[in-house]
Amino acid sequence: MQVVVAYDICDNRRRARIFKTMKGYGRRVQYSVFECGLDSARLQKMLTEVRKQMKVSEDSLRVYLLCAECCGKAIIEGISPPFGTPECFIA
């Protein structure tokens, strides 16, 4: 499934750790936004890892699950590869 993950982390150290974690799951498309191709098990693993690093009283995480039809309707401008290209899939 295609997933968009966006986060807002107040502390620089926590943000750096979460960024490092997210690099292993998908492609960074904005400063704190990643596009990921994940199956259910990898999604749960990613959520577990990120949640351990967050401080829920200060930080936020949003995960949007997108169907194939929604991905096909994405509007992307500029030099970024289209959503769902192989670069965002993790083997």
Q: pLDDT per residue over 40-91, tens digit each?
A: 999 999 999 999 999 999 999 999 998 877 777 777 777 766 665 544 443 3
What per-residue confidence (pLDDT) applies to 83?
A: 60
Cα separation, 45 vs 29, whole angstroms: 21
Residues 47-61 pLDDT 10s: 999 999 999 999 999
* Other CB atoms within 10 A of residue 49 CB: 15
* Other CB atoms within 10 A of residue 53 CB: 19
- Domains of the chain, earliest start first: 2-88 (3.30.70.240)
The answer, yes or no, to whether residue 21 has pLDDT greater than 90, is yes
What per-residue confidence (pLDDT) applies to 43?
A: 96
Residue 59 DSSP class? -
**Of 27, 33, 26, 28, the residue nearest 8 (C-alpha):** 33
pTM metric for this prediction: 0.81
Residues 25-39 pLDDT 10s: 999 998 999 999 999
Helix (H, G, I), strand (E, B) or coil at 27: strand
